[in-house]
Structure 1
Amino acid sequence: MKTLFNRLAYGGWPFAIGVLVYVAVIGPELISAASTSAVLVGLGLLALLAAWGHVVLRRVLSHKE
């Protein structure tokens, strides 16, 4: 289970799919919503996605062959 989680957390494809889903579906609907709580959830998801991107890029850039 931990190996699957690590593969998903540090993999490039799951991150790319997450960005695509956020940009295409979730983000525009939540950020432009009339409800303040929906906007906050959208911004929170964006912050989580940014943190995940930081982890993935940090692992890719510090990878030694």
Structure 2
Amino acid sequence: MKTLVDWLAHRLWPFVVCLLLYVGFIGPELISASSTMAVLAGLLIPALLVAWGIVLLRRGFTHKE
């Protein structure tokens, strides 16, 4: 499991796909849901995406060939 998470954390395309899915389909439905848990999930997912983006940016700025 750690290798899958590590692999995903350092690849740009899965991040872009997840971001587009959230912005296009999942996010608007969750944020406007009547369930409190759905709204909380709709707010938690962007927090995770921001953390993932920070990992990618940090790696991009510190990566040495």
Q: What TM-score do you get using the length of structure 2 for normalisation? A: 0.84
Distance 1:63 1:33 in 2: 41
Give the C-alpha shift of residue 62 in structure 1. 1.3
Give the C-alpha shift of residue 52 in structure 1. 0.7
Kindly report which structure 2 residues correspond to 1:1-65, keeping only aligned pairs within 5 A, or say none: 2=3, 4-65=4-65
Aligned residues between the structures: 64
Distance 2:41 2:14 in 1: 21
Q: Which amino acid aligns with 1:12?
A: L
Identity %: 59
Unaligned runs of 5+ in 1: none
Q: Deviations over 1:7-33 (max 9, x none)?
A: 222101111111011111111100111
Unaligned runs of 5+ in 2: none
Q: What TM-score do you get using the length of structure 1 for normalisation? A: 0.84
Runs of 4+ in 1 over 4 A off after TM superposition: none
Other structure's SS at 1:33 match: coil
Q: Which amino acid aligns with 2:57?
A: L
Distance 2:38 2:52 in 1: 21
